[in-house]
Amino acid sequence: MIEGDPLKKVLHIDLSIKRFWVEERNDLFEKFIGGVGVASQLLSEECGKKTDPLGPKNPIIFAVGPLTGSFPLASKTVSMFKSPLTGNLGESHAGGRSAIAIRMAGYGAIVIKGQSSEPVYIAVHGNRVYFKNASVLWGMGNSYSVGRILRERESGAGLRTIMRIGRAGEELISYASVITETYRHFGRLGLGAVFGSKKLKAIVISGNNSLKVNNVKQYRKTYDEIYNSVVNSPAMNKYHELGTPINVNVINSIEALPTRNLKEAKFEYADNISGETFLEKYLGRRIACAHCPVSCIHLAALRESYESDPYFFKTTMISYDYEPIFSLGSMLGIPNPDELLRLLEEIEILGFDAMSAGVVLAWATESQEAGLISEKDTFGIKFKWGDYESYIKALRLVIKCENEFYEALGRGVEHASTVYGGDDFALAFGGNEMPGYHTGPAAYIGFLTGARHSHLDNAGYSLDQKVISSNEKLTPDETANKLLSEEIWRQILSSLVVCFFARGIYTPEIVTKALEIMGYNLTYDDSLNIGREILKIKNNFKKENGFNENNLRIPKRIFETKAPTGKFTEEYIRQGVSAYFKLLNSD
Amino acid sequence: MCDFLVNGKIVVVDVNLCVGCQSCMFACTRRFGNAGLGKSAIHIGSAGGIERGFVVIICRGCPDPPCMKVCPSNALRKRDGGGVILDAGKCIGCKNCVKECTIGAIFWDEEMNKPVICVHCGICANYCPYGVLKLEKKGDD
C-alpha cells in the first residue's frame, strides 16, 4: 500500500453510544488487500460465534479496495455481517456509487455496531460523521420516498451513496435488502434486517479525495489499457447492450430456466420477459456505477393508467436484471412483462431481496397446491402461477406479519418448510434461496459449497454450460476442483472489489500491474495464497457458527426436473460437496 | 495533449447520452497524476434522481467571465477562446470565484485550498465513451 493512502482507515461507528472513531489498520490492508479479504478478517474479529444476527453485537462491515477510485470497474462495495436468513456468514456486494463514495470519503472499511434506541440515519461526509434522527422516515411506506428526502436533505450530490432500507428491513424480514442509489442492492442474505435491528434507516456517505499513485506515467498507461479493453471489449458489450437479461433466452433455450418452482426448466413465455423484449418495449434509460463506463444498469419505463381515471398516467422507472426476471417471472409463471415489472416495483418499494422473495412465493404457491397451507393461513389468498396481484398482496402481508404463516414466509423457505413441510421443493441451498440456474450438478455443488451459497461464489452454472457445449463429463472431484479454483480467484477479485463482469479484463497479469501502481507487490501465486486464506477464514467462521457440510439439505426437486447436462444424482452432488471441502482443507 | 493551446472549448453535445459513469471526472484528476476525484473541474450529478438522467457541470468558457471580476488578487486572467486561467501563486483561496459562477462550474481543491478551473484541454471528452462531451476547436461546425 502506498504510504499515506487513506485505504488503511477503518471507520468504527457505535450506534448504542452514538460515537465514532478511526483505526489505522495497515496490517489488514497489507495482508488482505481490501474488500472481501479485509471484511472477512474484520468479521472474524468483530463477530463472536454466538452473536445474534439481530442483536447489537452483529457488525455491519463495508469494505472497498486499493483499485477503487484509481482504476475503472473496481466499484463494488463488499458488505459482511452475520446473516439473519442463514444464521451464518452474510456477504453481499453492491455497486452504484457506494464504493467510490467510501474511498473518496477517506476510508477502506466501515464497521457499524450497537443498536440505537430510536430510528437514526448516519451521514458520513469525509471525516465528519453525524447521527441524525430518522423517526419521520421510519415506517414510511415507500423506499423511493426515503431516497428522495435524503437526496434533498444531505450534501454531496454526485459524490455520495445513499444506502437505505424499506419496510421489510424495519420489520426484520430475514431477506430484506439494502437499496443504494435507488437501483442497486445489497440484496442477499438479509443485510436490510440487520440495519432494521439497529434502528438504522440509512447511511449517506460522500467524499472528494484524490489519491497518490506510484509511477504516474505507468499509472496512465495501465489505466488506458484497462479502460480501452473495457470500452472496446465484446465481452463487456453484452452487459452494455441487453444487460444481464440477455441470459433469459439463453438459459431458457438450453432448458435451465427454473419455472414454476422448478417443476419445469423451460418457460413457454420466456421471450415475453427476455432482454430482447425489454430492450424493444421498455428500456427507458441505461446508467452506470461510478467509475464504470459499461452502464449495465437497465431501467424499464413502465407506463400505467389509473383504473379510476384512464386518462391519468404515471411512468415509473424500474431496474431489471436477469435474476429478478427469473425469480419473479419464470419462477412464478408470470408471462406478462407489465405485471412482472409491477411486482418488481413492489419489491423495491418494500425493500425485499427480489431473488429470495420470488423463491419464497413460488414455494408458497406449490405448498398451497399440495394442500400444505390453507386459505386460512394465507388470509384468503389463493396463489396461482402468474397471478401477480396475489403475490403483491402476500408481500404486503409478510411485512405485516399478522399470523404464523406470514411470519414463517418472512424467514425464508428453509424455515417455512420446517413448519409446513414441502422441503422437497423448498429451493434453498445452505439456507439461501436459489438463483436462476438449473444448469446441472456444478451449479448445485456450487450453491452448496460457496461461502455465501450464491451462484456468484464459484459460477458453477458457467462450468455446467462449458460441460454442455464441450460434451465432456466431469467427475465430482473434478467439478469440486474447478469450483474451488474459481472461488479462490474470486476472493481476489472481490478483495480488489472488481466487478465480476470485468473478470475477463482483470486478468492475473493486469491485476499484478494495477496493484503495483497502488503499492502492492504481489505475484499471481501470492494472490492465490491470499485468496485461499480468505476462503479459509470465511469457512472457519461458518464452522464456528454451526455450518456442517454433511448436514446440508438438498431438495429432491433438483433431481426430478431434467437439467441440460442430463439428470444427476444426490450421490454425485454429495461427493462433489465433500471433495470440495477436502480440497479446501488439504493444506 | 496540448489541444487547449489552440483555444478549443469543451461543449456538452447531448446530456441525454450521459450514463453517469463519471469517467470524465476521474480523467480530469488524472491530469495531475492523481487518482480519485479531488482535482476535477467537471462534475456529473443526477438530475434529481438517477431515473431523470444526469447533469454535466463544466466551465462554459464565458467570453466575459464573472469569476474573473470578483477575484480580489487578480489570480484569474482571461483565456483566449473563453474562460479563465488561474495564477495559483496569486490566489488567496477566498472562494469568491466559486460563489460567483452561476452554474457552479468552479470546483475546490481541498488539499491545495485553491479553485480547480477547467482549462478546456479535452481529456474529459477523450474518456467519455458515449460522446456526451466534445472539444470544439476553432473552425469546427
B90 φ/ψ angles, rounded to the nearest 5 degrees: -90, -15
Q: Residue A416: its pLDDT value, please? A: 98
Contact status of B6 with chain A (Cβ, < 8 Å) = no
- Residues facing residue A160 across a β-bridge: A206
The answer to whether residues B67 and B20 touch, using CB atoms and an 8 Å cutoff, is no
- pLDDT tens sequence across B9-47: 999 999 999 999 999 999 999 999 999 999 999 999 999
pLDDT grade, residue B6 (50/70/90)? low
- Inter-chain residue contact B34 with A211, CB threshold 8 Å: yes
Name the residue of chain A whose CA is nearest to B16's CA. A285
Contact status of A291 with chain B (Cβ, < 8 Å) = yes
Q: Residue A236: its pLDDT value, please? A: 75
- pLDDT tens sequence across B117-128: 999 999 999 999
Is residue A262 helix, strand or coil?
Answer: coil
A80 φ/ψ angles, rounded to the nearest 5 degrees: -135, 150
Please give the span between the terminal C-alpha atoms of chain A, in angstroms, as a whole number: 28
Question: Counting runs of H as helices and runs of E as strands, what totals does chain A give?
Answer: 24, 18
| pLDDT above 90: residue B137 | no
Q: Residue B139: its pLDDT value, please? A: 66
Q: Where are the domains of chain B?
A: 3-135
| pLDDT above 60: residue B1 | no
Q: Residue B49: its pLDDT value, please? A: 87
Compute the average pLDDT of residues B45-62: 93
| pLDDT above 90: residue B140 | no
- Inter-chain residue contact A69 with B22, CB threshold 8 Å: no
The CATH number given to B3-135 is 3.30.70.20
- Inter-chain residue contact A208 with B37, CB threshold 8 Å: yes
Contact status of B29 with chain A (Cβ, < 8 Å) = yes
Q: Residue A283 and residue A301: Cα distance in Å, rounded?
A: 6
What is the rounded (10 degree) CA torsion for A486, A489, A492, A496? Answer: -70
The CATH number given to A6-206 is 3.60.9.10
- pLDDT tens sequence across A256-294: 999 999 999 999 999 999 999 999 999 999 999 999 999
The grid coordinates of residue A133 equal 434522527
Q: Residue A93: its pLDDT value, please? A: 98
Contacting residues for B7 by C-beta, under 8 A, at least 6 apart: B79, B80, B81, B82, B120, B137, B138
Contacts of A295 in chain B (CB under 8 A): 19, 21, 130
What Cα–Cα distance (Å) separates residue B137 from each residue in B6, B40, B122? 7, 22, 10
Q: Considering only the top CATH level, what class is A432-584?
A: mainly alpha
Place of cell 464497521: A111
Q: Which fold has domain A238-428?
A: 1.10.569
Contacting residues for B81 by C-beta, under 8 A, at least 6 apart: B7, B8, B9, B61, B120, B138
Contacts of B37 in chain A (CB under 8 A): 69, 100, 104, 159, 208-210
Local confidence pLDDT in tens for the 587 residues of chain A: 999 999 999 999 999 999 999 999 999 999 999 999 999 999 999 999 999 999 999 999 999 999 999 999 999 999 999 999 999 999 999 999 999 999 999 999 999 999 999 999 999 999 999 999 999 999 999 999 999 999 999 999 999 999 999 999 999 999 999 999 999 999 999 999 999 999 999 999 999 999 999 999 999 999 999 999 999 988 777 788 899 999 999 999 999 999 999 999 999 999 999 999 999 999 999 999 999 999 999 999 999 999 899 899 999 999 999 999 999 999 999 999 999 999 999 999 999 999 999 999 999 999 999 999 999 999 999 999 999 999 999 999 999 999 999 999 999 999 999 999 999 999 999 999 999 999 999 999 999 999 999 999 999 999 999 999 998 899 999 999 999 999 999 999 999 999 999 999 999 999 999 999 999 999 999 999 999 999 999 999 999 999 999 999 999 999 999 999 999 999 999 999 999 999 999 86
Average pLDDT across chain B, whole number? 93
Q: Is A574 exposed, middle or buried (0-12, 13-18, 19+ CB in 10 A)?
A: middle
Contact status of A6 with chain B (Cβ, < 8 Å) = no
Segments of chain A assigned to CATH 1.10.599.10: 432-584
How far is C-alpha B27 from the geometric centre of its chain's CA atoms? Answer: 12
B141–chain A nearest CA distance, Å: 27
A123 φ/ψ angles, rounded to the nearest 5 degrees: -120, 120
Residue of A179, A142, A175, A141 lying closest to A360 (CA atoms): A175
Q: Residue B112 and residue B108: Cα distance in Å, rounded?
A: 9
Best mutation target among A97, A182, A210 (most B Cβ atoms within 10 Å) is A210
A214–chain B nearest CA distance, Å: 10
The secondary structure element, H or E, covering residue A303 is: strand A297-305
| pLDDT above 60: residue B3 | no
- Inter-chain residue contact B46 with A157, CB threshold 8 Å: yes
Segments of chain A assigned to CATH 1.10.569.10: 238-428
| pLDDT above 60: residue B2 | no
Q: Residue A234: its pLDDT value, please? A: 81
This model of the complex carries an ipTM of 0.96
Q: Residue B4: its pLDDT value, please? A: 47
